[in-house]
Structure 1
Amino acid sequence: MPQPYLPSAFGVFLAPYHRPDRDPALQLRRDLELVTELDRLGYEEVWAGEHHSAGYEIIASPELFLAAAAERTGRIRLGTGVNSLPYHQPLVLADRICQLDQQSRGRAMLGVGPGQLASDAFMMGVDPMDSRTMMADSLEVIVRLLRGETVTAATDWFTLDEARLQLGPYRGREMEVAVASAVSPTGAVLAGRHGAGVLSLAAADPAGFATLDTNWAAHERACAEAGRTADRGSWRLVTPVHLAETREEALKQSEFGVLDLVAYIEALGGVRLPGCATAAGAVRRWTEEGLPAFGRAVIGTAEDAVERIGQLARKTGGFGTFLILQLDLAEPAAALHSLELFAERVVPRLTGTTDARRASLDWAARNGERFTGALRRSTEQAIARKGEVC
């Protein structure tokens, strides 16, 4: 049986999740500083979310946030994670993402979904039962606009009359689009229908993990029906990760912010989570059973992260990009160190970038006696010749 290939690109998914009793301007500033650090550490991507209620996820316009991030960085790609399509006139959204692509010189990516928070949909008069249909309506015309087509279309919630983009993607390049996918195959099928990538947001959730392979199969069928070949390289999986030098240290550091996340989950769900009365208990539940919306976190060492990503690769058959779900879990210094550990110890293991160095060291060690013997004989000969050069 062929071995699944491991991801070759890595990034961060930043909703973000911030305590509502802290200064939002400072929180957003720290998020921008984080993107600068990710660029320095060599991460390939960062994705920023769109939310409008509930107090924790405070980026309302990912394009605005990413435009500011673009001015602070030079190479990292910038994705909307995700734009909630039922909340936008599709021409206006396509226009905005193309402006971001121009300003960032081709680093923008468009992530799309139906909208996560029911409270957002309620405020805008969007029936959550209609959100997936509205997403499909919007995505169909957005991909056509991004390809330079003139679009006339009418639905029960938007109308386009000879709509076209005055600014397309940077230098005529194809804009990368990714569709959010959780447990149902809806997102994966839409992605296949329109030539988009799959963004698996629930890969850490036991139910989401269980459907990764079947959702990909649905994506492959949708691609085939559209005359396309599914590309595993455009598949992204999201998982919460916090690393430290030891597992015990990582678990202890995670107690700093875990109860804030538990409070958010309980407020949205209206129920108390068993086993989460203490920070230590909540961390234990998160790593063993998982938490609603966040799944099972990787809290431990670089080896633990390598093992979990290997499990994901075996379950899926291989995927292109692994995204860390960034949370206010540990204190800022420890959170940054976690990202440094991932970049320095996990990424090289998965990509094989240190294999040649280890092989060279092994070769030198195996032949050490031969090499040092030759060097010793050369030195003795030079001494015997009293400095004379042949």
Structure 2
Amino acid sequence: MANDDSAAPFRPETIKFGIFQAPYHPMTGNPTLQIRRDIDLAKHADHLGFDEYWMGEHHSGGIENVPAPDLFIAAAVEHTHRIKFGTGVFSLPYHHPLLVADRIAQLDHQSNGRVILGVGPGKLPLDAIMMGIDPPDQRRMQGESLEAIVELLKGNVVNAKTDWFELHDARAQLLPVSPDGIEIAVASTVTPSGSVLAGKHGGTLLSLAAGDKAGFDALDRNWDVYVTESEKHGHTPNRAGWRVVTPMFLAESREEADKAVRRRILHHVDYLEKAGGGIQFPWGRDPQSAIDQLRGEGWPSFGSAVIGTPDEAIAAIEAMISKTGGFGTFLIIHYDMADWEATKRSYELFADEVIPYFRRSNRNRVASLDYHSAHAQQLGAGVVQAITQATQQYYGKDAQIHIR
């Protein structure tokens, strides 16, 4: 369990819940409809009471077909009312820092303060190579960019010169909606680099690989790095701002869940095999074998997933709480593996059964019924007495009363 006595105590009922879109979509589908359904899913999540919805940035590989998360969020906020949106994530080496600060500040105003700036170094090597960026430089570039963005969003004038951008008396014209600024969440996977940056700049931690074995194993280590770096730079570690991400798909039973994802699951396997240079996984030709592998040891890059029931989702989240000592938000990474109706139903089950379990939403309802049960004889006698008195007042004291 992660150790941070300086952070506020964890309370499970305060956990928030959201959806994280890479987004992954079968390459045989209609990309226009896929993006429109992603907006519809944001509307559905808002209706169901989810707290957050994240959209990623990718420029190659085909399966993750949104290159501009801010454009997506700008559209989605117009169809929602309360849910917050995060860039999941802006790959900072691909953008001039002044443009990132300007665009997120504008988006903050368009959403009326419902935006979170998620940042990372960039995941797909081809993205970087197409832009002339050497992949080993990406984490350094992320740090240089974030340094400038933090100051720009504070309203400060920034001067900086690196080997890939310059800022000369630069300032962001728009400041964030809230005087507290825009939350900045830094992506973290297995290495400590994301934790170092988040702690240095007072950001929050976005653990993207919690569903992967190596990522899961690194959760508490990376949190400890975040705590150390936060305190070193005068910031308070923010457990409430810690987000963990893992995939889930729910149905009434495992059999129904398997049936729902069986038709599309091999599209995702095909992507992994081609992205790996044409390798073939031994479980990659049969849908049920692919499901069992994803549910068990997991897939490369995708990690392991809960494909099953709300009870299995609860057990997985409890295991994550036990591993980490608690976090602020649990994000379901969305794999587009089922039809639209089954997808909506999966999130409905999560909202209806998983979220109330952790938030203890029904504790007073349960306590009320338990009290009624414990005092049933006394309460029942009172009801009989009241009915008898009311009847005899009208018909006389010799009236016969029959109560079942």
Calculate the TM-score normalised by the size of structure 2: 0.94
Is the CA contact (8 Å cut-off) linking 1:4 and 1:313 kept in structure 2?
A: no
Alignment match of 1:299 (pick from 307, 310, 316):
307
Deviation, 1:331, is 1.4
Q: How does 1:60-209 map to 2 (within 5 A)?
A: 60-209=67-216
Amino acid at match of 1:235: W
Once the two structures are TM-superposed, the CA of residue 354 in structure 1 deviates from its matched residue by 1.1
Question: By how many angstroms is 1:367 displaced?
Answer: 1.4
Aligned residue number for residue 272 of structure 1: 280
Name the counterpart of 2:399.
none
Alpha-carbon distance, 1:274 to partner: 2.5
For 2:118 and 2:178, the matched residues in 1 are separated by 20
Q: What residue in structure 1 maps to residue 247 of structure 2?
A: 240
- Secondary structure in 1 aligned to 2:37? helix
What's the CA shift string for 1:142-170, capped at 9, x where partnerless?
A: 01111111100111110001110101111
Q: How many residues are matched?
A: 388
The aligned counterpart of 1:310 is 318
Secondary structure of 1:224's counterpart equals helix
Q: Deviations over 1:220-274 (max 9, x none)?
A: 0000100112111000001100011112211222212211111111111122222
Consecutive aligned runs of 4 or more in structure 1 exceeding 4 Å deviation: 1-4
Asked whether 1:354 is paired with 2:362, we answer: yes
Distance 1:102 1:296 in 2: 37
Contact 1:97 1:110 (8 Å CA) reproduced: yes
Residue 394 of structure 2 aligns to a residue whose secondary structure is coil
In structure 1, the residue matched to 2:43 is 36
1:32-71 per-position Cα deviation (integer Å, ceiling 9, x unaligned): 1111111111111000000111111111110000000011
* Contact kept? 1:5, 1:313, Cα under 8 Å: no
List per-residue Cα deviations over 1:335-358 (Å, max 9, x = no partner): 110000000100000111111111
Structure 2 unmatched runs, 5+: 397-404
* Residue 290 (structure 1) aligned with residue 298 (structure 2): yes
Which residue type is aligned with residue 70 of structure 2?
E
Is 2:377 aligned against 1:385?
no
Question: Shift of residue 171 of structure 1?
Answer: 4.5
Cα distance in 1, alignment partners of residues 179 and 135 from structure 2: 36
- Specify whether residues 282 and 64 from structure 1 end up closer, same or farther in structure 2 by C-alpha distance, changes over 3 A only: same
**Paired letter, 1:280:** Q
Q: Is the alpha carbon distance of 1:5 and 1:290 closer, same or farther for their aligned partners in structure 2, counting shifts above 3 Å?
A: farther
Displacement of 1:213 in angstroms is 0.4
**Correspondence for 2:331:** 323
Q: What is the SS of the residue equivalent to 2:318? A: helix
The match for 2:224 among 214, 217, 227 is 217
**Alpha-carbon spacing, 1:358–1:267, altered in 2? closer, same or farther (3 Å):** same
Contact 2:18 2:330 in 1 (8 A): yes
Distance 1:103 1:387 in 2: 69
Contact 2:160–2:167 (CA under 8 A) maintained in structure 1: yes
Whole-angstrom CA distance in 1 between matches of 2:252 and 2:378: 37
Q: 356-365 vs 176-185, which deviates more? A: 356-365
> Is residue 262 of structure 2 the alignment partner of residue 259 of structure 1?
no
Q: Secondary structure at the match of 1:385?
A: helix
Q: Partners of 2:180 and 2:36 in 1: how far apart? A: 31
8 Å CA contact retained: 1:252, 1:280: no
Report Cα offsets for 1:84-126 as digits up to 9, x if no partner. 0000000011100111000110001100000011110110011
Q: Secondary structure at the match of 1:160?
A: strand
- Given the two structures, how large is their TM-score scaled by the length of structure 1? 0.97
Aligned mates of 2:86, 2:229 — CA distance in 1: 24
**Which whole-Å CA distance do the structure 2 matches of 1:86 and 1:228 have between them?**
25
Contact 1:236 1:322 survives alignment (8 Å): yes
1:376: which partner in 2? 384
Q: Which amino acid aligns with 1:167?
A: L
Matched letter for residue 52 of structure 2: E
CA displacement 1:295-327 (0-9 Å, x = unmatched): 110111111111100000110011000000011
CA distance in 1, matches of 2:10, 2:296: 25
**What one-letter code is carried by the residue in structure 1 that aligns with 2:326?**
G
**Native 8 Å contact 2:26 2:264 kept in 1:** no
Percentage identity across aligned positions? 48
What secondary structure does 1:276 align onto? coil
| Alpha-carbon distance, 1:16 to partner | 1.0
Aligned pair 1:333/2:338, yes or no? no
Flag structure 1 segments of 5+ consecutive residues without an equivalent. none
Which amino acid is 1:274 matched to? P
CA contact (8 A) 1:5 1:317 kept: no
Q: How many Å separate the matches in 2 of 1:243 and 1:99?
A: 36
Indicate if the aligned counterparts of 2:27 and 2:267 stay in contact, CA closer than 8 A. no
> What is the SS of the residue equivalent to 2:23?
coil
Look up the SS of the partner of 1:53 in the other structure.
Answer: coil
Matched residue SS, 1:111: strand
Residue identity matched to 2:364: A
Alignment CA distance shift 1:13-1:384 (3 Å):
same
User: Following the alignment from structure 1 to structure 2, what is the Cα–Cα distance between the partners of residues 276 and 372?
Assistant: 62
The residue type paired with residue 194 of structure 1 is H
The worse-fitting range, judged by mean Cα deviation, of 211-220 and 378-387 is 378-387
